[in-house]
Each structure stands twice: as C-alpha cells, then as structure tokens.
Amino acid sequence: MIFLKRIEALGFKSFAEEIKLDFDFSMTGIVGPNGSGKSNINDAIMWALGEQSYKTLRGDSMEDIVFSGSSERKALNLAEVTLVFDNSNRSFSSLDFNEVAITRKYFKSSKESEYYINKSRVRLKDIQDIALETGLTKSSLAIISQGSISNFVESKPEDRRKLFDEAAGVARYKKRKEEAIRKLSRTQENLDRINDIINEIERKLPSLQKQSLKAKEYSETFEELKKIEVSVLLNDILLYKNKLEDLSKEKADIQTEINILEKNISKSTLEYNQLRSTSGENEKELSKLNKDFTKIVEKISELKVAKITLESKKEKSSIDDNEYKISDLKSQSKEIEVQIDSEESRLAKLLNEKHDKKIKVDDLSSKRYKLNNELEHINKTISKLEVLIENLIIKKNSLDNLFDGVKNILENKNILPGIIGTVSDFIKVKKEHELAISEALQNNLQNIIVKNTNNIKNAIEFLKSNKGGYATFLPLDTLRANYINDELKFVIKNTDGFIGFGNEIVSIEKKYKIIVDYLLSNYLFVNNFDNAINLSKVTNSKFHIITLDGQRILPYGAVVGGSKKNKNLNLFDANKIEQLEEEKKQLIINQEEIEKQILNLSEEIDLQREHHNEIQASIATSKKTSESLEKQLTKIKDEFRILTGKELSSEEIEYKSIDEQIIKLIEEIAESNNLKQEIEKEINVIRSLKDQSSQKQNELYKSLEEDRNMLSVLKEKYSSINSDKNLLLEKETNAKAHLAQDYNMTYENALKIKENKLDNEKEVREKIKELRLKITNLGNINLDSIQEYEEENSRYEMYLNQSNEIYESIKNLKGAIVDMDHQMIDQFRKIITDVNKVLPETFATLFGGGNASIIYTNPEDILNTGIDLKLAPPGKKISNLNLLSGGEKSMVALSVLFSILKVRPIPLVILDEVEAPLDIANVERFAKYIKTFINNTQFIIVTHRIGTMENCDKLFGATMEQKGITKIVQIKLVDAKKITNSN
Ligand code: ATP
C-alpha cells in the first residue's frame, strides 16, 4: 500500500535546498551517516501534520525548525513542507479528492504558520481534523522511534496501557471524558452559584411581594382618588372661574361708577370752592357798596336841606302871591328840566352799558362754548385710551401670544419656584428701537428668567410630565455674557451710523442686567443698511448687525432682510401700556385745567348777565321817571299859561342868583341820585348773585354729601368684591396647585382628560375622604417595589429555569461519562482480546517460538488498569521483564507493535532505527515480518541495518555533500551498504 506519495521540503531544518522524496513502494528505507538529516524527514512529516510542540520536534523554539545557516549558506526565513497523500480509497474521508497535498509554511520573521490543503489556505484545526481521520496523529503507532521501542518493556504498566488506549481509540474518549468531567465540575460550580442566588432571592421575595401588593393597592386607590378628585377640582376651578368672571364684571361696573362719582365730586368740589371764594369777595364788595350808598344818601339829604333853606330865603323876599307863583312855576319847571336832562343822560349811559354787557356775555359764551368742545374732545380721547389700555392689559394677561411651553410655565408660576417672567416683561425699549430689538431678540423675547439652575429642572419636569411644550430658561445664577473688548468697542462706536450696543440701548432693572448682557452684547445697531455693511467689514463679520428698520447681517456675513409682519412687537405691550397711561395722565391734567377755566367763565357770564338784568331794570325805571317828569313839566307849563296867558319857555325865565344856586343844587341832587341808583344797581347785582350762589352752594353741598356717601358705599362694595375675588383666586390657585402637586397636571391638561360628571357632590366628597383615609392607613409605600418585585420574581423564575437546565445537563454529562466509560471499557477489552489472539503467533514468529500474552494488572478496574506482559521466550522462564536483554526487550515491543498493527492496521508507519539493538538474524526476521503488513500499511524505515535495507523496495540516501545541508537521493543497495559500513 502506498499512502504517502511524496514529501517536498525546503528551508526545514537541514533542508536548505529543496528535497523531494517520491514513495512509490510500500517499504522505503532511508539510510545515511549520523547527523545527515534522516530523522529530519520524520520531523518534517510530523510538523506538516500540525505538530505544535517544538520539543517533540527536537528544538528549543519553533524558530529552530527553519534552516539556521551553515558555514557556507545564509540562514533562511521560511520553512515549507508538503506531504502528498493518495486518497483514492478516501482515507481522508472528508476530502473528496484522489490526491491530498498538505502544506505548512512557517515564517521566522512573523513567527506565523500557514496551512494549505491542495493549495487552499486552511486553519490548523482543519489539518488536525483530517490527520485524526487517518490515525496519523502524534501517535506512538504511526511514528516509532528506537527510544519508544526500548522503553516499552521497562515502562510502568499504567504507561504501557497508553499504546493500547491509542490503538483502541480510547485515548480520544479519555480526552473527551476529561473534558466532560471538567465541564461537569464547572457546571456544578455554576449550579452552586445559581442556587446561592436562588436562596438569596427566596429570602427577599416574600417581603418584596408584600410591599408590592401594598404599593399596588395604593396605586389603585390613588388612581381612583385621582379620577374623582381631578373632576372635583376641575369643577371647583370652573366654578371659581365663573364667579371670578362675574365679580370682574361687577368690579368693572363699580369702578366705572366710582370713576364717574369721583369725577363729579372733584368737579363739584372745585365749583363749590370757587363759589365760596367768590362769595367772600362779593361780601366785601357789598359792604363797600353799602357804605357808598349811605354816603350818597347822606349827601342827597344834605343837598335837599340846602335847597329847602335857599327856597325859604326866596319865599321871604317874594313880593306877592301871584308873582311868587309865577316865579315858583318858573323855578319848578327849571328843576324838572334839569331832572329830565339828568335822566336822559342816565338812560343813554344805561343803554350803552346794556349793549356792552351783551357783547361781553356773547364773547364769554362763545369762549365757553369752544372750551366745552375742547373738553368733550379730551373726554372722548380719554375714553378711547382707556379702552385701548384695557384691551392691551387683557391681551397681555391672556398670554395668548406666547409659545405653549412659556405660557404653561407662566400660568403655573405660583407652583413653580424661581420663575421670574419673560424677557419681554422686563426689558424697556424706546419706541424707535422696538422693531430692531424685536428682530435681534426674536423668540428670545420669550425666554424665561429664573432665579437659579435648580428651578429649571423643576420647570422642565413639569413641562415634560404635562406634555406642555418647551421653553428656554435663563438662570440668573449661572448665566455668563460674551462681552466685546474695550478696544473693539471704541472702534465700533466711531463707525458711521452706529447707534449703540444691544445691551446698552435697552434698559432693565439692575439685578437682571446679565440677561440683556447675555442676549444682546454682541448685537450692534446702526441707522441704515450701507452703514451696516461697512460695520460688518470693520468688525470682520464677527457680530450681529441690525438696522433700525430690522435688516440683519449675521456673523460670517449672511444677510436677512425684506419686510415681514413682526409678531414679536406684540410682546412690547407692557411698554405700550405705560406710554398710553402717560398720555392719559397728561390728558387728565388738561381736562382739569379746562374744567376750571369753564367754571371761571360761567361765573363771569352769570355776573355779566346779572349786570345786564339790572341795567335792563334801571332802564325801565329811568324811562318811567322821565315820563313822570315830562308830565309834571306839562302841568307846570299849563298852570303858567293860565296865570300869565303866555307860554313858559326857558328863555323867558329870568334867574336871580338864588335861583341859580337852587338849580345848581337840583342838578347836584339829580347827579347824586344817579350815582345812588348806580350803587343800588351794583348792590342788587351782587345780592342777587349772592343769593344764587348760596342757593347753588347749598345744592352743591347737598349733592356732594350724597355723592360722597354714595362713593364710600361703592368703595366698600368694591373692596368687598376685591377681597371676595382674592379669596376665589386663592382658592383657584390652591386647587391648581393641588392638581399640579398631587396629580402632576396643569388645569388645561386635566380638562383634556376630564371624564366623569359629578352627580352627587356630597357623596363624591365623602368618597374622597374615604379614599384619603385608606391611603393614609396604608402607611409607608415603596412604589418602586412593584417593579422591583416583578423584576426579582422574573429573575427568580429565570434562575429556577437555569438551575433545572443545569441539573438536566449534569445528568446528561454524567450519563455521557458513563457511556464513554462503557465504550472505553468495551473498546479496551476488545483490543486486548484481539491483540492477545495474534500476539502468541507474532511473538513466536519473531522469537522463533515461545509464548506471550498481555494481562490486566487490575481486571476489576478496566478503565484504569495497567497492562502487564506475560512472556515465555522459547526455552526461558521470565520472572522479571527487566532481566531481558536489550535486543529481547525490543523484540517483545516489536511483537506487541506488530500484533496491534495486525488487528488495527494504519496506513503509514515510520520506524526510526527501531531494529538497531537486534542481531543480524533478528533483523532479518524483523524485516521479513514487516513485509507481511505491506498490503495495508506503508512503511518508511530509517535504518543503519543491512538486513532491513535488503528488504526495502527502495532506498534513499541522506548525505551532507555541502556541510550542514542535507541532500537526499535514491541509492542502490550497494551504495547504501557502503554508507552504512563507513558510518
Ligand atoms: P542519526 O543517524 O545520528 O540519528 P540523522 O541522520 O537522523 O542522525 P538528524 O537528527 O535527522 O540526523 O539530523 C540532524 C542534523 O540536522 C544535524 O546535523 C543538525 O545540525 C541539522 N539541523 C537540525 N536543525 C537544523 C536547522 N534548523 N538548520 C540547519 N541544520 C539543522
């Protein structure tokens, strides 16, 4: 049989040059002097088949298998060996090729081996597996050295059995059994560990289960309570809201009433005070006029006395009655004429005055009319402003302009600590900067200022748990600004059109300054786009530049511009409200001023009207007086005509000096009378005004009294509504806080999931109490215990399963070990029986007679028993194997070896000088005996013995023609003998 067809080797040990050995006969001999490299062939075969032990390969390290150089040849880096096997009868059962070439390469530089089967790269394991299929493994059967042969007989029975184990294939089982035992012990350890864990869990589980059940009961009760209480709270909140709305309306109505009343009171008070002060002045005037009046009355009576005295003088000097009568008539007529003249001039004066007064009243009235119009306009403007302000306040309070997240946070400000408000609530922006600032800040206007970073955590949790949107928070404690350095600031300030740095053109309370520094330090504001471009160049496009009309240049040069509706401007409502309030204040000052002016004008008009009326009355009296005087004159003239028969004409009156005096007196009296009437008129005017004023004062006083009472009633009502409102607000806040704190819900959120309507509120409230009590009675709750219990329980089950599986696998492993033991025992017994069948004959053939058998040293324990030899060489009785000669020991070993080969043939056996100790006759027998196996086994025999050589079909000679480099060539027997003899 030829199994190994060829060996090719290069760089392996002493094979510095390529060697190629073709094995075309079943029995090939390799001969050569000591150290020529014969055994390196065995090493090459072993190595190519995957040998990993450098010791087995007779080296100190794997690098020793590469040609290490000689005196004439440099060392090599690569060792390569290829074995070519005949596989036509599928000795390598897994390889479907007729020929199998196994190659191993080793690179000294990388210390790496590469393996190939039929030139395809494979793993070491693939080589080892196919080697196993043929029995060509590291086995004392396949490659047998002289040492192992001579040791066989001397070795201990336990070591001796190894050969049979290998032959029986038991070695494999042993290895597997060892593995199984190792695995078993590992598995057992694993089981112990798992059982420890199971015990541990079992200890914890009952208390955890108890806790978990309690927690579940708590959760269920809590959920029930939540469902009911959320509804109750929502109902309450809704109720509070409705009531609050009603109260707000009522409050607004009352406020309007209060405003009107206050306005009236202030107006009436002003009027009342004005009247009082005018009354005082009138009083003074009146007393002065009364004095004047008394004086003039006195003067008139003095004049009248003087006149009477003169007239009496005149009487005494009268001649007769008739003459006296005529003279008297003359003087009377003169007196009346004087009076008529005086009355006429008075009337003329009065008519003039009347005209003047009318003009004055008209003038004052038109002034008052204009002022009234002006006042009406102001009033209307104030009303409009009030509506505007109210709407802005409502809009501001409604938070509708804000993002959901921001809105939700602000609405729940009182339950979220540290929330201060939005940026837009706090910054003050000049009107002309509003557009640019809102462009710069954009959505940052809605950033929420908070006291510190911890507050943010709370707020974010709140938003998350209520799915309430998101918001940006600015914590005052950690916020830092990125300021522009002073040099650069100086340059920027001196650039054309620069208006200011963002953080400097808006104002904010000092404690919040960091907010604008953070948001706006890097924003530069300029008057127009050209200057913006220029500033961007100057600052190397590092900052945001914004024009007053809202065009922007971003850092690195992008430009955002055009026109858009700026929703953010709404966020400046607070600013706007302030502006409007200021406007309103100014208008109210104007309003009051005009009202005062109107009041003064009205008083003046009243006065002038009164004068006018008095003048009118005086005109009437004057006309009457004139008429009566004319009548008197006519009567005197008639009397005169009857007496004298002549007409009385003024020219005819002759005056005596006394008459002239009297006439003068008459004129004076008339004049004084005029003055008296004048004074009387003034007195009348003032009196009438005084009367009117005091009546008016009384009325005003009364109405003021009423108004004040009314006002205090209304104010009381207002404050009671206010406190009711505050109470309701507090209740609403509490209810909301309750929702948020106990159920982590915002009002809006709760509204969305509100389910049940409350039927019987009393019952429901009772139920809430009951559930609360139940929760209190449950005591301490560990909510995590539900999950912990579930996790722990499933862990428990998992470990229990694992433990069962491990029990099962231990059982299987133990079963497998028992099976293997049975197999090993069977196979071991079988090989021993089989060998014992052929051993006597083999022994007899090699020894030329005698008998031999193998026996168990411990038949009770086949698995561990050693193997002993029972020998009877021809004519000898052996009591101690050590007494055998060296040659005999080798023969015994060879007999056993050949017996094994007989019953368990393997395809290749390499014998390395195993027959060295034999004598020539025995060598002959040995060589002949080998021949009997060549149908089933190929032999490669390294030998120095001629007997062996003679029986080989082919001989290779190993030489070192070049020092240190093995050369192998086929040689003839004669040459082989020569080599051997010279050795
Ligand atoms: P003997 O008949 O004495 O058993 P042999 O012919 O079997 O001798 P080997 O043991 O096969 O000789 O070969 C040993 C030779 O191989 C020695 O000369 C040794 O120097 C040489 N050798 C071993 N390894 C290397 C190596 N890595 N590089 C070069 N030569 C090596």
Residue 720 has a CB neighbour count (10 Å cut-off) of 10
639, HSE (Cβ side, Cα atoms, 13 Å): 15
**What per-residue confidence (pLDDT) applies to 788?**
92
Q: Residue 960 C-alpha to ligand 1 middle, in angstroms?
A: 10
**What per-residue confidence (pLDDT) applies to 757?**
65
Q: Residue 34 C-alpha to ligand 1 middle, in angstroms?
A: 8
Q: Which two tokens stand for residue 200?
A: 């541990």
Whether the predicted pLDDT of 608 surpasses 60? yes
Q: Residue 69 C-alpha to ligand 1 middle, in angstroms?
A: 13
**What per-residue confidence (pLDDT) applies to 359?**
94
**Residue of 31, 39, 959, 960 with the most ligand 1 atoms within 8 Å of its CB, for mutation:** 39
The average pLDDT across 504-521 equals 93
- What is the rounded CA–CA span in Å between residue 520 and residue 274? 56
Output the DSSP codes for 709-742.
HHHHHHHHHHHHHHHHHHHHHHHHHHHHHHHHHH
Give the chain's end-to-end CA distance (angstroms, integer).
Answer: 31
Reported as a pLDDT band with limits 50, 70 and 90, residue 414 is: confident
Whether the predicted pLDDT of 435 surpasses 90? no
- What is the rounded CA–CA span in Å between residue 900 and residue 838? 8
Instruction: Spell out a b/e string for 828-857, using b for 16 or more CB atoms within 10 Å of the CB, else e.
Output: beebbebbbebbbebbbebbeebebbbebe
Please list the residue range(s) of the chain that carry CATH number 3.30.70.1620: 397-582
Q: Please report the atom of ligand 1 found closest to the CA of residue 944.
A: 2
Q: Which residue has the tokens 């032999």?
A: 939
- What is the rounded CA–CA span in Å between residue 869 and residue 545? 108
Structure confidence by residue, pLDDT tens digits, 953-967: 999 999 988 888 999
The average pLDDT across 503-525 equals 93
Which amino acid does the sequence have at 629? L
Q: Which residue has the tokens 């339950």?
A: 415
Residue nearest to atom 12 of ligand 1 (CA): 35
Q: Residue 866 C-alpha to ligand 1 middle, in angstroms?
A: 36
Residue nearest to atom 29 of ligand 1 (CA): 14
Q: Which two tokens stand for residue 705?
A: 């009294």
Reported as a pLDDT band with limits 50, 70 and 90, residue 30 is: very high
Reported as a pLDDT band with limits 50, 70 and 90, residue 133 is: confident
Q: Please report the atom of ligand 1 found closest to the CA of residue 42.
A: 11
**Overall residue count recorded for the chain in this entry:** 983
The average pLDDT across 396-401 equals 74
**What per-residue confidence (pLDDT) applies to 316?**
58
Residue nearest to atom 30 of ligand 1 (CA): 14
Q: Which residue has the tokens 């009770």?
A: 860
**What per-residue confidence (pLDDT) applies to 640?**
87
Whether the predicted pLDDT of 61 surpasses 70? yes
Degrees, nearest 5: CA angle 850-854-859: 145
The average pLDDT across 555-577 equals 75
Structure confidence by residue, pLDDT tens digits, 888-897: 889 999 999 9
Instruction: Spell out a b/e string for 606-621, using b for 16 or more CB atoms within 10 Å of the CB, else e.
Output: bbbbbbbbbbeebbeb
- What is the rounded CA–CA span in Å between residue 137 and residue 175? 14
36 is in an annotated binding site: yes
Q: Which two tokens stand for residue 537?
A: 């160049």
**What per-residue confidence (pLDDT) applies to 982?**
64
Whether the predicted pLDDT of 816 surpasses 60? yes
Question: Considering the chain, what is the average pLDDT of its residues?
Answer: 88
68 is in an annotated binding site: no
40 is in an annotated binding site: yes
**What per-residue confidence (pLDDT) applies to 755?**
61
Reported as a pLDDT band with limits 50, 70 and 90, residue 650 is: low
Q: Residue 41 C-alpha to ligand 1 middle, in angstroms?
A: 10
34 is in an annotated binding site: yes
**What per-residue confidence (pLDDT) applies to 289?**
93
Whether the predicted pLDDT of 329 surpasses 90? no
From residue 851, give the alpha-carbon distance in Å to each of 528, 835, 845, 878, 887.
Answer: 125, 13, 10, 11, 17
Whether the predicted pLDDT of 758 surpasses 70? no
Output the DSSP codes for 900-941.
HHHHS--SEEEEESTTTTS-HHHHHHHHHHHHTTTTT-EEEE
**What per-residue confidence (pLDDT) applies to 71?**
84
Q: Residue 35 C-alpha to ligand 1 middle, in angstroms?
A: 5
Structure confidence by residue, pLDDT tens digits, 204-248: 999 999 999 999 999 999 988 988 888 888 888 889 989 999 998
Reported as a pLDDT band with limits 50, 70 and 90, residue 401 is: confident
> What does DSSP assign to residue 137?
S
- Check: CB of residue 775 under 8 Å from CB of residue 222: yes
The average pLDDT across 8-37 equals 93
Reported as a pLDDT band with limits 50, 70 and 90, residue 697 is: very high
Residue nearest to atom 9 of ligand 1 (CA): 37
Q: Please report the atom of ligand 1 found closest to the CA of residue 66.
A: 27
Whether the predicted pLDDT of 172 surpasses 90? no
Parallel, antiparallel, or unpaired for β 523-526 and 498-501? antiparallel
- What is the rounded CA–CA span in Å between residue 392 and residue 964? 110
Residue nearest to atom 21 of ligand 1 (CA): 14
**What per-residue confidence (pLDDT) applies to 408?**
86
**What per-residue confidence (pLDDT) applies to 573?**
72
- What is the rounded CA–CA span in Å between residue 91 and residue 134? 6
421 is in an annotated binding site: no
Whether the predicted pLDDT of 318 surpasses 80? no
**What per-residue confidence (pLDDT) applies to 568?**
61
CATH classification of 397-582, choosing from 3.40.50.1980, 2.60.40.10, 3.30.70.1620, 3.30.530.50?
Answer: 3.30.70.1620
**Residue of 14, 41, 911 with the most ligand 1 atoms within 8 Å of its CB, for mutation:** 14
Which CATH superfamily groups domain 1-142+909-983? P-loop containing nucleotide triphosphate hydrolases (3.40.50.300)
**What per-residue confidence (pLDDT) applies to 394?**
80
Residue nearest to atom 1 of ligand 1 (CA): 34
The average pLDDT across 550-578 equals 78
Q: Which ranges of 744-783 would DSSP assign to H, the alpha helix?
A: 747-753, 761-778
Bridge partners of 475, per DSSP, are 450
Parallel, antiparallel, or unpaired for β 965-971 and 938-942? unpaired
Please list the residue range(s) of the chain that carry CATH number 3.40.50.300: 1-142+909-983
Reported as a pLDDT band with limits 50, 70 and 90, residue 662 is: confident
**Residue of 17, 21, 30, 40 with the most ligand 1 atoms within 8 Å of its CB, for mutation:** 40
Q: Which residue has the tokens 């939540």?
A: 226
From residue 545, give the alpha-carbon distance in Å to each of 424, 525, 552.
Answer: 21, 6, 6
Q: Residue 65 C-alpha to ligand 1 middle, in angstroms?
A: 11
Q: Residue 15 C-alpha to ligand 1 middle, in angstroms?
A: 9
Give me the helix-helix angle, 321-398 and 657-743, nearest 10°: 10
- Check: CB of residue 721 under 8 Å from CB of residue 250: yes
- What is the rounded CA–CA span in Å between residue 967 and residue 955? 14
**Residue of 13, 70, 106, 961 with the most ligand 1 atoms within 8 Å of its CB, for mutation:** 13
- What is the rounded CA–CA span in Å between residue 565 and residue 572? 14
**What per-residue confidence (pLDDT) applies to 761?**
77
Sheet containing strand 448-450, strands side by side: 419-422, 448-450, 473-475
Whether the predicted pLDDT of 505 surpasses 70? yes
- What is the rounded CA–CA span in Å between residue 393 and residue 112? 86
Q: Residue 945 C-alpha to ligand 1 middle, in angstroms?
A: 19
**What per-residue confidence (pLDDT) applies to 187?**
93
870 is in an annotated binding site: no
Backbone angles phi, psi at 981, to 5 degrees: -65, -40
Whether the predicted pLDDT of 100 surpasses 70? yes
Q: Please report the atom of ligand 1 found closest to the CA of residue 67.
A: 28
Q: Please report, to the nearest 10 degrees, the dihedral formed by the alpha carbons of residues 972, 974, 976, 981 taken in order.
A: -170
Q: Which two tokens stand for residue 455?
A: 């507050």
Reported as a pLDDT band with limits 50, 70 and 90, residue 880 is: confident
Q: Please report the atom of ligand 1 found closest to the CA of residue 39.
A: 11
- Check: CB of residue 266 under 8 Å from CB of residue 703: no
Q: Which two tokens stand for residue 333?
A: 């007529």
Reported as a pLDDT band with limits 50, 70 and 90, residue 317 is: low
pLDDT above 70 as % of the chain: 96
- Check: CB of residue 205 under 8 Å from CB of residue 792: yes
Q: What residues flank ligand 1, with Cβ below 6 Å?
A: 13-14, 32, 34-40, 64, 67-68, 958, 964
33 is in an annotated binding site: yes
**What per-residue confidence (pLDDT) applies to 754?**
66
- Check: CB of residue 910 under 8 Å from CB of residue 879: no
Contacts of 193 (CB under 8 A, 6+ apart): none
- What is the rounded CA–CA span in Å between residue 97 and residue 120? 13
**What per-residue confidence (pLDDT) applies to 698?**
93
Reported as a pLDDT band with limits 50, 70 and 90, residue 314 is: low
- What is the rounded CA–CA span in Å between residue 404 and residue 584? 34
Q: Which two tokens stand for residue 672?
A: 């004084």
**Residue of 36, 145, 940, 961 with the most ligand 1 atoms within 8 Å of its CB, for mutation:** 36
Which amino acid does the sequence have at 592? E
Q: Residue 968 C-alpha to ligand 1 middle, in angstroms?
A: 13
The average pLDDT across 645-667 equals 72
Q: Residue 389 C-alpha to ligand 1 middle, in angstroms?
A: 113
Whether the predicted pLDDT of 137 surpasses 90? no
Structure confidence by residue, pLDDT tens digits, 706-752: 999 999 999 999 999 999 999 998 898 888 888 877 887 778 778 87
**What per-residue confidence (pLDDT) applies to 566?**
60
Q: Please report the atom of ligand 1 found closest to the CA of residue 41.
A: 11
Residue nearest to atom 28 of ligand 1 (CA): 67
Bridge partners of 872, per DSSP, are 851
**What per-residue confidence (pLDDT) applies to 161?**
87
- Check: CB of residue 468 under 8 Å from CB of residue 749: yes
**What per-residue confidence (pLDDT) applies to 651?**
56
**What per-residue confidence (pLDDT) applies to 254?**
93
Q: Please report the atom of ligand 1 found closest to the CA of residue 68.
A: 28
Q: Which two tokens stand for residue 818?
A: 């028992």
**What per-residue confidence (pLDDT) applies to 905?**
86
Q: Which two tokens stand for residue 81?
A: 């060996």
Q: Residue 54 C-alpha to ligand 1 middle, in angstroms?
A: 15
Q: Residue 493 C-alpha to ligand 1 middle, in angstroms?
A: 95
Q: Residue 947 C-alpha to ligand 1 middle, in angstroms?
A: 24
**What per-residue confidence (pLDDT) applies to 583?**
92
Residue nearest to atom 4 of ligand 1 (CA): 34
The average pLDDT across 22-49 equals 91
Q: Residue 710 C-alpha to ligand 1 middle, in angstroms?
A: 134
Q: Please report the atom of ligand 1 found closest to the CA of residue 59.
A: 24
**What per-residue confidence (pLDDT) applies to 800?**
94
> What does DSSP assign to residue 333?
H
Residue nearest to atom 2 of ligand 1 (CA): 34
801 is in an annotated binding site: no
